[in-house]
Structure 1
Amino acid sequence: MIRIPHTSDRRIEAETEMDASRRRFFIGMAAGSLGAGLGIPRLSLAETMARLTHRQGGRGPSRFHPSFVKDVGLLTDLNATNQGGAWWNFDSYITPIEQFYIRNEYATPRAELDRRVDPRFWRLHIHGDAVERPIEITYDDLLKMPSRRIQSVMQCAGNGRTLFWEQEGMPEGDRRVKGNGWGMGGIGMAEWDYVPMSHILDLVGLKPNAKACLFWSGVDGKAPNTESDTGRPMPIADILERPDDIGLAVERRGIRTPLLG
């Protein structure tokens, strides 16, 4: 659901970029320097990465969990609904789906348990007191709309939280930083196909008093078929500033969403 009210909302968004080639360069340099200093033979980059892998050389055993829809054997097990990326294994610019972290508040919705995420029954409602023409869109409708492709970093706001615990002396008491112990695994780079908001807004039309857009999940609830409590507001001004860069993701490198969790 997308609701566009005339009341204002605030949004705090953090973005980051990671240069995988630069990171691998420093891993190789660190290994080479260590070998030289201790009289140990220098390691090639491939040998260094092999020694940094885990679980059978980075090809971890299968691990399935009812809270997720993919094999999480290559991820670090944080808790029942969150899995971190094994960042020491990252060796590509685009993060493979099996290594992409999962940040869920609840279990990933499954079509066999909740028909609202079944493509046959999924619906997107766009409405609000600042919308001229409220509409309902099916998944097939969305796939037929003009789309664009973008490579974009997705990151949890808590990525690197363990650095605060260990480096900033915030492990307990009033200074403790609460949340998942991501390490540096709460980040991934993906290539997305999406329908730009410029097209969506042209369909519905905006009234002059439009102030904010609320992207509401509709399906992220404590149990299947329960009402969602998950949404994210965004000022209309921010969307209109980049209407072709912001949109509704429909595929991740040929994999139709939702398949990350």
Structure 2
Amino acid sequence: MTMTPARPLSRRSVLKISLASAAVAPVLSAGPALAGGVRSPLAPRAGAPVPAGPILKPLPLEEFVVHGTNAEMRWGSVRAREALTSQADLFVRNHTRTPVIEATTYALRVHGDGLARPRGEGEALSFRLADLKRLPRTTITATHECTGNGRRFFEVQQGTPASGTPWGLGAVGAVRWEGVLLRDLLARVGIRRDAVSVMATGLDDPFVSGGVDYGRVRRPFDIEKALDDALLAWGANGEPLLPDHGFPLRLVLPGWVGIASIKWLGSLEVSTTEQTSPWNTKWYRMTGGDHPADAPPLTLNPVRSAFELDWDAVLPAARTITLTGRSWSGAAPIVRVEVSIDGGATWRAADLRDKPRRGAGHGAGHGAGHGRTRDLSWTRWSYQWRRPAVGAHELLARARDAAGRTQPLVAAYNDGGYLFDAVVRHPVTVV
């Protein structure tokens, strides 16, 4: 992840701000509220488009595999020379459908007993997009990935089917997010010394499953992440967010599972107690298999690798075939990638096109100096396959990150099909 700028703001300095006064008034203008102090952010202007389906952007079949309310990027459509994933090409993970939100009526609501002056939901502070854009801007480049990426391989490769969307490896992309660090907003609002968690809630339709209404998608995260590199993003790759990717504002928790980066962010509740939701208790935890009943909610994404090839790709015979791919990790930069062209019998090092920066790693670090650079984007690599024999082959790629994590040959089973990190056996045919 590259982040510019990294402002020297630690939790201690935030707490110092919050303790300077018993009641801290917001320095930003608060938007007008409806009855009860609650803004209506879902008021489209006259003539605005209405969602016609769960996903609004075009989904050409040569670029996407559509899974109902979700859409997966095809690796064969990835352009090897482009490091970032355009929003047009980025996967879509929706629990319900993409909402249409008018930016001019949108406001982010902040409340909770963890604020320097505790506020209930009915008296939440309300910040317009223009208010947030007056704060120092930060750009973070990071790999963004669905927690269930690779789920189908639990069945097709390991013979242990798991429930959920049967993603291949295309529920991932690298994005340069633009926005404001959450810690910068919290520094101005003020938080209590004993604040421990933040609940992020989206503005999409309530999620109903099996006749149960679970409410809007929401998930808490710890205050340490909030004061580290959590980002309130309004842009991606130099452009405003598309509706399918969270317009007008979304949360981005770099390195963490995709569900944690709530789209269409409506509110943040800062609390002095640990918060819970179905998205960190019922789902997005490791359950089943050999996992204990009290397994914690998922946070960091694992190490993964993928070839820039269609599944069952047909390759023309040649003296040398250049294979390209990408590897990524939620914890640290990739430092080594190995490729096997004989089904795993032998391994050879791939050439890394994106070298890890010195000192790169997960998290901003409290008190980080101005201009500190970190990298949690994926690493592009290539491998020269010399004298490939005509016929069927299995290609394998495995990576190691700077934290010492390496892809295993078998992923630990869980009944939610999360975090499949095993080496994927990619079939191709040389003709």
With normalisation by structure 2, the TM-score equals 0.40
Of 61, 66, 77, the match for 1:89: 77
Aligned-partner SS, 1:238: helix
- Please list, as runs of the form range in 1=range in 2, the aligned pairs for 1:50-199 lying within 5 A after superposition: 66-73=53-60, 74-79=63-68, 81-91=69-79, 92-110=82-100, 117-133=101-117, 135-170=125-160, 176-199=161-184
C-alpha separation between the residues in 1 aligned to 2:67 and 2:196? 38
C-alpha separation between the residues in 1 aligned to 2:116 and 2:214? 26
Partner residue in 1 for 2:258: none
Q: Number of residues paired by the alignment?
A: 181
C-alpha separation between the residues in 2 aligned to 1:78 and 1:218? 22
8 Å CA contact 1:82, 1:102 repeated in 2? yes
Over 3 Å counting, the alpha-carbon distance change for 1:238 and 1:139 in structure 2 is closer
Superposed CA RMSD: 2.2
8 Å CA contact 1:85, 1:101 repeated in 2? yes
TM-superposed CA distance for 1:159, in Å, is 0.4
Over 3 Å counting, the alpha-carbon distance change for 1:65 and 1:78 in structure 2 is farther
Greater strand fraction, Structure 1 or Structure 2: 2
Partner residue in 2 for 1:237: 224
4+ runs of 1 displaced by more than 4 Å?
Answer: none
With normalisation by structure 1, the TM-score equals 0.64
C-alpha separation between the residues in 1 aligned to 2:55 and 2:203? 18
Partner residue in 1 for 2:188: 203
Deviations 1:199-247 (A, max 9, x none): 1111211112211011111334359xx995211211113333x2xx221
TM-superposed CA distance for 1:118, in Å, is 0.8
TM-superposed CA distance for 1:260, in Å, is 3.5
C-alpha separation between the residues in 2 aligned to 1:90 and 1:105? 25
Partner residue in 1 for 2:26: none
C-alpha separation between the residues in 1 aligned to 2:180 and 2:215? 23
TM-superposed CA distance for 1:88, in Å, is 2.0
Over 3 Å counting, the alpha-carbon distance change for 1:99 and 1:258 in structure 2 is closer
Aligned-partner SS, 1:102: coil
Letter in 2 for 1:205: G
Instruction: List alignment gaps of at least 5 residues for structure 1.
Output: 1-63, 111-116, 171-175
Partner residue in 2 for 1:26: none
Letter in 2 for 1:254: G
Over 3 Å counting, the alpha-carbon distance change for 1:120 and 1:259 in structure 2 is same
Letter in 2 for 1:212: S
8 Å CA contact 1:220, 1:227 repeated in 2? no
TM-superposed CA distance for 1:77, in Å, is 1.4
C-alpha separation between the residues in 1 aligned to 2:205 and 2:70? 14
